[in-house]
Chain A
Amino acid sequence: MASARSTKKFLKFALTPLAIFTVVLIVPFVNGVYYTFTDWDGFETTKLVGFKNYTKSFQDPTFWSTLRFTGLFVLVSLVLINVVAFGLALIVTSKLKSRNILRTFFFVPNLIGGVVLGVIWQFIFNSAIVALANKYNWELFKESWLQDTTKAFWALIIVTVWQSSGYMMIVYITGLVSIENDVLEASQIDGASPLRTLLSIKVPLMAQAFTIALFLTLRSGFQAYDVNVALTGGGPFRTTELISLHIFQDAFANGNFGTGQSKAVVMFLLVALAALVQVTISKRYEVQR
């Protein structure tokens, strides 16, 4: 009786969303992993080929350079976004009268999609700054930053930090305001300096916010695509392709479905591993309250 009722409830409440979820997410995922062990060409498979697609992927030198470039991008953007976002959160949680207006300014880039932001900055790096540099003789900017691999890397970082720091700022604000006032008053009475209070009281008590913000920036760093496509398009000469764009090009531009999909599975494993390590380490610093 009870189980008949719960089956009916399952059918009414959960079946449709679960079916859509399975069709859209589970089936392509399982399919995708299976395809990498076959000679799939985008349309049909005739036989199993073992790890051939994976060995071929790792023999591709551009894949290695993409992995290096992505790793560096994830690391640098993760550190900078979180440092900047934490700083912004401290500014807008101070007692300034203008804090709400400041918050809006910091948050707005986040509302706008990466593609639109990417082309805005493409105009800035390719045209606006170059025009100004020639007018006022700034050596550093006379050639567009997007024409040089190292400078294009920093251009990607600047745009990504500008875009994402506002969102992470909100996460840190949530952490900062969740700290009870009496703890802060106690530290003040004990004569702790503001810096001491920040490092020894606030940061440990809001460790959960760091766990979340680091996880989100890690994931979005690996998945970055929009800004990459719109800002550098992978150029010059495919040297600024992040892994997501690399997979897209491999599969849809060059028609290498087998290696493209194996690289995508490698990407999934990297994201899962990095996230697992990061969350395990971060959790250790969280204080039980």
Chain B
Amino acid sequence: MSARARFGRRVTFAIGSILAFAYFFPFFLVFVNSLKLKPEILANPLSIPTHISWDNFQQALTKMNFFRSLTNSIIITVLSVSLLIVFSSMMAYYLARTKNKLSKYIFLILVTSMIVPFQALMIPFMARFAQFVSWNNRGALIFFYIGFGVALSTFLYHGFISTIPTEIDEAASIDGASDMVAFWRIIFPMMRPITATVAIINALWIWNDFLLPRLVLTNETQTLPLSTYLFYGQYSIEYGQAMAGLVLAVIPIVIFYLALQKQFISGISQGAVK
């Protein structure tokens, strides 16, 4: 390697490291201060805690009902994503394999609908569904997520199914398999890579969504972003506890990411490029 290339690499490394530090710094600041008491935070937010106290965390855990909101978030995300996978893969299979006017128009409407911002629907939406929402918060929210997510997910599956040769379907049908059996036993397992993409893109969006849960959910069914926001609003004066609450809100998704890092990165690049 030439001296010039080595120099270039050092410069890249230096810039990269400074940026990485800058990107990480806010999280560091929150974590450090979550272990401190209020006077210590105000004296110097950058100082390392003189003695570590987990008291802030204990307070935040109970005050923001951490485990209840975590459970709600998990239930809502897992159910919505699973149902989205089932429904959109089936619809995409129909749309990709049936060539007629109906399927062409349905596909066109789905693709066009992706440009509509949620804000354009939000007001009539709430007026129309208020009753349904008060009857079952979580169920209603999951139902809405399927409605909002089905277009993009179907679109992603559609692109993938088009690459699977139709001979496979024909062979299955000659062997006497019904449409349903052929789809679930043979086609669906072949789509594992795109299923991972659909799962990750939707999970990230639903886990972090704020506006829809804010409109739909009540106290008992709050998700994590919602309870974090409300907790912070109420206790932001108690800096230490507020910071502990933020650390708790961040941890689950970061763990999930670190466990599935490869799938995340390939999922997002697949999902964006299609």
Among B58-91, those with CB < 8 Å from A are 87-88, 90-91
Q: Is A234 an interface residue (CB 8 A)?
A: no
Q: Is B54 an interface residue (CB 8 A)?
A: no
Distance between Cα atoms of A88 and B17 in the complex (Å): 11
**A contact residues around B44 at 8 Å (CB):** 131-132, 135
Q: Is B253 an interface residue (CB 8 A)?
A: yes
A 83-98 binary contact with B (CB < 8 Å = 1; else 0): 0000010011011101
- Taking a contact as CB atoms under 8 Å apart, the answer to whether A106 and B94 are in contact is no
Distance between Cα atoms of A247 and B119 in the complex (Å): 8
**A contact residues around B124 at 8 Å (CB):** 28, 31-32, 35, 261
Distance between Cα atoms of A109 and B20 in the complex (Å): 11
Distance between Cα atoms of A194 and B236 in the complex (Å): 49
* Among A6-14, A61-69, A144-152, the stretch in contact with B: A6-14
Interface size on B, residues (CB 8 A): 89
Known: A9-B179, A20-B150. A116 touches B102 (CB 8 A): no
B73 nearest CB across to chain A (Å): 10
A145 nearest CB across to chain B (Å): 14
Distance between Cα atoms of A134 and B226 in the complex (Å): 33
A 26-39 binary contact with B (CB < 8 Å = 1; else 0): 11110110010000
Taking each of A99, A113, A226, A271, which has the highest tally of chain B beta carbons within 10 Å of its own beta carbon?
A113
Taking each of B118, B121, B179, which has the highest tally of chain A beta carbons within 10 Å of its own beta carbon?
B121
Distance between Cα atoms of A106 and B23 in the complex (Å): 6
* Among A73-81, A165-173, A196-204, A281-289, the stretch in contact with B: A165-173
- Taking a contact as CB atoms under 8 Å apart, the answer to whether A12 and B118 are in contact is no
B156 nearest CB across to chain A (Å): 14
Q: Which of B13, B116, B118, B254 is in CB contact (< 8 Å) with A98? A: B13
Interface size on A, residues (CB 8 A): 93
**A contact residues around B154 at 8 Å (CB):** 17
Distance between Cα atoms of A88 and B23 in the complex (Å): 11
Among A189-218, those with CB < 8 Å from B are 194, 208-209, 212-213, 216
Q: Which of A6, A222, A257 is in CB contact (< 8 Å) with B123? A: A257
Q: Which of A105, A111, A265 is in CB contact (< 8 Å) with B23? A: A105
- Taking a contact as CB atoms under 8 Å apart, the answer to whether A120 and B272 are in contact is no
Q: Is A244 an interface residue (CB 8 A)?
A: yes
**A contact residues around B43 at 8 Å (CB):** 131
- Taking a contact as CB atoms under 8 Å apart, the answer to whether A17 and B12 are in contact is no
**A contact residues around B127 at 8 Å (CB):** 42-43, 257
Can you name 9 A-B pairs with beta carbons within 8 Å? A14-B94, A95-B9, A96-B13, A105-B19, A116-B246, A170-B268, A209-B273, A248-B211, A271-B115
Additional 10 contacts, C-beta under 8 A, given A123-B29, A174-B273, A219-B117: A21-B150, A105-B20, A106-B20, A119-B229, A128-B33, A132-B44, A212-B273, A244-B117, A261-B124, A272-B115
